[in-house]
Structure 1
Amino acid sequence: MGMKIIVFLLFVIFSIILIFYFQQINPNYVCKDCNVILISIDSLRADHVGVYGYEKNTTPNIDRFASESILFKNYITQSYLTPVSEFSLHTSLYPHQHGLIIPWPSDNEYKLTNPPVTIAEILKSYNYTTIAISTSPEFKVFRDFGNGYHISNFSYVRDLPVIDEQLISVMKNKKFFLWLAIGTVHAPYGKYVPEEIQNKYENLQYRGLFKNKVINLVEINSIYNYTYYPLYERGEWLERNVSENPVQLNQDDIDFIVAKYDAGIEHMDNFLGNFFNILKSAGLEKNTIIIFTSSHGEELGEHKYIMHYDIHESEIHVPLIIKHPGLEHKIIYTQTQSIDILPTILDFLKIPQYEKAEGNSLVPLIYNEDPQFNKYIFIERSPLWEEFAKTNTTFLPHIDFGVRTSEWKLIYRTSRDFEMNNSWWGYISGQKIFVPEFELYNIKQDPKEQKNLYFDRIDVADRLKTNLFEWIKEKGIAIFNRTDIEVVKIFPYP
């Protein structure tokens, strides 16, 4: 009898200690009924943000915001295209699962037959007032981004959004979820940026090819391997203008384009500085979780082209900064991914997890970095330009994959033959563009992915291939066999 009492008392004491331990470790992450603001920038790569190491002062307000927040240094998007990667964030599903894998629909409007549940729909069911404000035209065209919102304003114009008094009043008087999507950084670079900001970044002595041009998608898609191939628009398509000779570019030309891109970042940062001040003046800081990220990054010549086209680090490594009223500043180096955002929001709000979510809540990581957390991140690439350069047919079932660890990344080109035969860059240059089946990069030593180590480190490649092939098999990816996806047009991409 005495032994049973002792065992019972020990159990009670142990339980009390355990409860006290977890209360001490995890006392502040729950923010039940807190407001949530999700800020999604379009085309902002991490290494052009101050707190991610950029030497230019493009983001003083974001940097200040990060100093009071949790800064995730290795956040990866699930793909490289705005609608594809952003929908993974909103659904916690991989692109092949959520089904939104086309770059632009033929009739400028697209809606999935069986759309998955989004974070807005979940929070709406928990009595949140849901608001969407977007200046990324993709979100107006792909109608499923509007699912679950009480209030929405989706614009075709990539300018800064408007935060008016009516919106502030709603935010002050309602429990709300605000998705703020900003398209200003996306091409056309610098179009909506005041001249005084552009002059801070541009070489004012520059007199090159792009001096008096708008750096839009026609200009960007004329550039490959430091050569400018003149294009012209024929209906809804771009074609090579063979009557004009290619122009050799130099570093000053590329620097001018990058300067326009950086000017857009500062313009966006100034807007956010004002927005954060509005939140503070309205007394919303104390009960609002703010998540700042980007749909994807941007290529600026590292792989011979400009814009976003592939799943290289410049295009999938983006900022993630979370400001939480109950959590202090911290820097987290463990890799995280788009599909982790939805489970994290639900964890913060103490809302039951969405059973179909593929991602993991970041809450445990905030308290204890774990090298096994997201040990492997999987990325998907559906085609962009190459499907449409010469073949106005169907969106064929061609897809590439990537698997990433904290040190290595393997890219598997399942569609290499098709890509080589239909490459946009091959079309404008008149060259055969070689596409390797596998690419292996040491992203710690070579973050710009300049040296393919596939044949030098077969041991690492084989390990990553095993994990990637197991994941493909586990997910039952059937996109290889799909031939029924609708006809789409790619140009002009907005």
Structure 2
Amino acid sequence: MRNVVLVTFDSLRADHCGFMGYDRDTTPTLDAMAAEGLNFEHAISPGPSTPESMPVIMTGEFPVGSDDSGSSLLATRRAKIRRHMKTRETLAERFGRAGYATAAFSPNPYTSRYFGFDRGFDRFEDFMGGSREELYQRMLDGALAGLPLGSVLPVRILLNWIQREEVFKPWEDFYDAIRAWTEQAPEPYFLWILLMDTHDPYLVPDDYRTQSWRAMYHANYRLWRQGHEPPFSETTHERLVRAYDDSIAYADAFLDRLRTDLADDDPLIAVHGDHGEAFGEHGTYGHHQRLFEENVHVPFVVEGAADRNVTAPVTLQRTPELLESLAIDGELPAFDDRNVPARTLDVDRSAVRARTYKYLRDGDEVRLYDLVTDPGEESPSRDLDPVARAPVTAREEHVAERRRIRDAVSDRGDRL
């Protein structure tokens, strides 16, 4: 059985990686890993944000069923994630059942123990202990829901800035803790690390900046000040993209150090983005509730596995199956030409990505894009090809049936 390391880069889109054709030298280490290992050219995130993608990636299943907390949409989504993580076998539990030691390090609150991401880990560090844990639990539980969001966020941002937490926590601040665990962990081990360095605000150390300190901070300030809503000036846009690319290069340096330090352990090292990031495409910046390629097409590379490029679309929903098969069985599962899904947590928007086309549903509106002639998804086809639409219809019927069954079981349990 092989040691396994899973590295999640928050907000890393595929087309800003060198091995995916990007013209800036953002990912030299990941490029080498892709050249020597298993590279999924069309890896699709299950959703456009961390709360929508990571529960699926860590369990291999989409959340189903309806949740009505009786309060707000935010509370409903929160309850849905917590219930999902509580009732599904996690990737850590899979490896633990096979005899692996397990550990995780993640400064993202949406992958914290509050949401159940600690299940199955012998060591779980979400950097939310002490007074911070109480504060964030109150915020996540809705105790501060009565306050305007604009009054809460500045306080939270200031606190994070001072304490270098959440999106402000660079990987170098907890790298020693990661190494300390790997040095004493029994083998085989499974280690999961989520890095926030590629999430906005895109702030990097001086050695990785390719523009002035002032330009980097001003662009990030404009992004925050406008709530990620365009329009932005051409100068601000270019500075934001450059800051993002610099943050990718800084995160790539983590991989370089990790590969060197763990060389004697000979692990499988899997690297992926949990979702993408928009920079003006389709009128958005960041990762809003959109399922276009900039939001869901992410890198997915496994070093230490077969030297192969998989060109068929692959969903990150298959991560548990893939890693377990590679590490324990030494086999690569079959990846045929598939129609892979992505959707928002409330299922208002959904997508099916195939090799040459993409189907998007937004409420009652449906669109089909030919990714060969229109890779930017700018001009939807006027005619929805019945052949192309068939797998979409079948999948939505399947999801709806699972939801009906779960709701019926839940209703029966409430009456017993």
For 1:260 and 1:95, locate their aligned partners in 2 and report how far apart those are by CA, in whole Å: 34
**Alpha-carbon spacing, 1:178–1:438, altered in 2? closer, same or farther (3 Å):** same
Any residues of structure 2 matched to 1:61-460 within 5 Å, and which? 61-96=29-64, 111-112=82-83, 114-140=86-112, 142-155=114-127, 156-158=165-167, 159-161=169-171, 162-164=174-176, 165-171=179-185, 173-190=186-203, 193-198=204-209, 200=210, 202=211, 212=218, 214-215=220-221, 218-219=224-225, 221-224=227-230, 226=231, 249-280=232-263, 283-285=264-266, 288-309=267-288, 310-324=290-304, 327-350=305-328, 362-365=332-335, 373-382=336-345, 399-414=348-363, 437-453=365-381, 455=382, 457-458=383-384, 460=385
Cα deviation 1:289-346 (Å, max 9, x = unaligned): 111111111111111110011111011100010112xx44222211111121111122
Which stretches in structure 2 are left out of the alignment for 5+ residues? 128-164, 408-416
CA contact (8 A) 1:81 1:103 kept: no
CA contact (8 A) 1:77 1:379 kept: yes
For 2:197 and 2:73, locate their aligned partners in 1 and report how far apart those are by CA, in whole Å: 19
For 2:316 and 2:217, locate their aligned partners in 1 and report how far apart those are by CA, in whole Å: 37
The one-letter amino acid paired with 2:255 is L
CA contact (8 A) 1:135 1:160 kept: no
The one-letter amino acid paired with 1:85 is S
Q: Indicate the residue corresponding to 1:35 in structure 2.
A: 3
Cα deviation 1:141-165 (Å, max 9, x = unaligned): 6431111100011135232332325
Cα deviation 1:143-196 (Å, max 9, x = unaligned): 31111100011135232332325213124x432100111111011122xx1134
Q: Which has the higher contact order (CA 8 A, sep 6+)?
A: 2
Name which of structure 1's ranges 335-344 and 47-56 shifts more when overlaid on structure 2.
335-344
Secondary structure of residue in 2 paired with 1:96: coil
CA contact (8 A) 1:98 1:115 kept: no
Identity %: 21
**Alpha-carbon spacing, 1:57–1:349, altered in 2? closer, same or farther (3 Å):** closer
For 2:271 and 2:243, locate their aligned partners in 1 and report how far apart those are by CA, in whole Å: 22
Secondary structure of residue in 2 paired with 1:223: coil
**Alpha-carbon spacing, 1:52–1:176, altered in 2? closer, same or farther (3 Å):** same
Q: Indicate the residue corresponding to 2:132 in structure 1.
A: none
Cα deviation 1:253-286 (Å, max 9, x = unaligned): 2111111111111110112111111112xx112x
CA contact (8 A) 2:33 2:302 kept: no
For 1:348 and 1:97, locate their aligned partners in 2 and report how far apart those are by CA, in whole Å: 32
> If the length of structure 2 is used for normalisation, what is the TM-score?
0.77
**Alpha carbon RMSD of aligned pairs, Å?**
3.0
- State which structure, 1 or 2, has the greater radius of gyration over its C-alpha atoms: 1
For 1:463 and 1:106, locate their aligned partners in 2 and report how far apart those are by CA, in whole Å: 36
For 2:402 and 2:217, locate their aligned partners in 1 and report how far apart those are by CA, in whole Å: 46
CA contact (8 A) 2:66 2:403 kept: no
* 1:223 shift after superposition: 2.0
CA contact (8 A) 2:13 2:275 kept: yes
CA contact (8 A) 2:104 2:192 kept: yes
CA contact (8 A) 2:222 2:236 kept: no
Cα deviation 1:453-482 (Å, max 9, x = unaligned): 2x1x33x2x333332122111231548x99
